[in-house]
Amino acid sequence: MKVCQIMAGNEEGGLENHFVELCNGLAGKVDKVVVIAHEKYRERFCPEVRFLPLDLSGGRRNPWLLFRLALLIRQEAPDIVHAQASKAVDMLARIRAFVPGYRIGTLHNRKKKLGMYAGMQTVIGVSQGVVDGLEHPDIRVVYNGIQPYTDVQYDKSRLAAEYQFDPTLPIAIAVGRLVFAKGFRELIRAWPAGKGQLLIVGDGPEREPLASLIANLNLEQQVILAGYRSDARGLMTGADLLLVSSNREGFNYTVAEALACGLPVLSTQVPVAQEILPESYLVPVNDLQALNAALCRVLSNLDVARTEQQSVFSWARKTFSIDHMILQTIALYREKLQQVAQ
């Protein structure tokens, strides 16, 4: 089995990490892995991966760029051509008549325009939520995997000491880029004064507005903006609860990371969380009253939250592993090639 993986763009984030982990995981488990992506990513792949640099960050309708992409795929003649995210899927769909291989496209985030996925023979969603409503004859869900965390872990006393929190009160943590879609403004507005403490880990353009909001609500002692932390997963081990307040998501890595380390989660109704958490730990998006009520209830009953999510912790440790993601992907490849052979 020869697999060609394609990623457009030159950014940094969950998509890019997933792409590298998937390709490196496939190497050695299939006959050959070929990667077509921006030159900047070359050094992130293991030696067994054949890397073909092509800057696909330009226009997806650029004829010369599409020609070069088609030429590379034709030269490699893969059995499977797997495009990651909508732009790469769109480009592969435009050249599908000129390239060999069974076409698979992965949908990472819910978009308004998804017509390009009609040009794929199979669509993979990184969660059930991102593919809900998508019309396609063959849709599969393969959750992203996360690497095991081996760095320094915090206990509650250390976390409390670092941020001058009261260790006798609950400490909740929220992790993500400080952008509007993450809903941190709503989380701060809904925060129940006196019920616990909140650590928001991340940076971004919303930092100043969030700091002003915290000051205006007199929450400086209860809500802390920690900025970017490379050890966010380590901080989770010292917290009592992970909070997700997003307006939309594709695959939320922090939910997977928290559940894998046994940290209860309270979330808005976004993909991944809404698929696996008990209903009592989900709140509607942009509903401050419901969020406040849920925060009051869960922060006052953390032992109950840990007990009620025990089965989710076990499921998450298995399902959100890199090995599980790789095995599911390879099984899908083999299934499709067998169907083609028949």
Domain locations in the chain as residue ranges: 2-145+321-341, 156-319
Task: Report DSSP state, residue 138.
Answer: -
Map residue 226 onto helix, strand or coil: strand
Contact yes or no for 219/193 (Cβ under 8 A): yes
| Tokens encoding 151 | 């760095």
Q: Name the pTM for this structure.
A: 0.87
Torsion sign, CA atoms 323, 309, 244, 142: positive
Minimal CA–CA distance to 106: which of 176, 185, 3? 3
Whether 20 shows a pLDDT value over 90: the answer reads yes
Whether 150 shows a pLDDT value over 80: the answer reads no
- The Cβ of residue 49 has, within 10 Å, a number of other Cβ atoms equal to 19
Over the stretch 304-337, which tens digit does the pLDDT of each residue have? 999 999 999 999 999 999 999 999 999 999 999 9
Over the stretch 234-269, which tens digit does the pLDDT of each residue have? 999 999 999 999 998 878 889 999 999 999 999 999
Q: Give the integer Cα–Cα distance in Å for 326 and 320.
A: 11
Q: What is the total residue count of the chain?
A: 342
Q: Give the integer Cα–Cα distance in Å for 50 and 248.
A: 35
Q: Give the integer Cα–Cα distance in Å for 237 and 318.
A: 19
Whether 72 shows a pLDDT value over 90: the answer reads yes
- The Cβ of residue 309 has, within 10 Å, a number of other Cβ atoms equal to 23
CATH class of the region 2-145+321-341: alpha beta
One of 3.40.30.10, 3.40.50.2000, 3.90.550.10, 2.60.120.10 is the CATH number of 156-319, namely: 3.40.50.2000
Over the stretch 86-110, which tens digit does the pLDDT of each residue have? 999 999 999 999 999 999 999 998 7
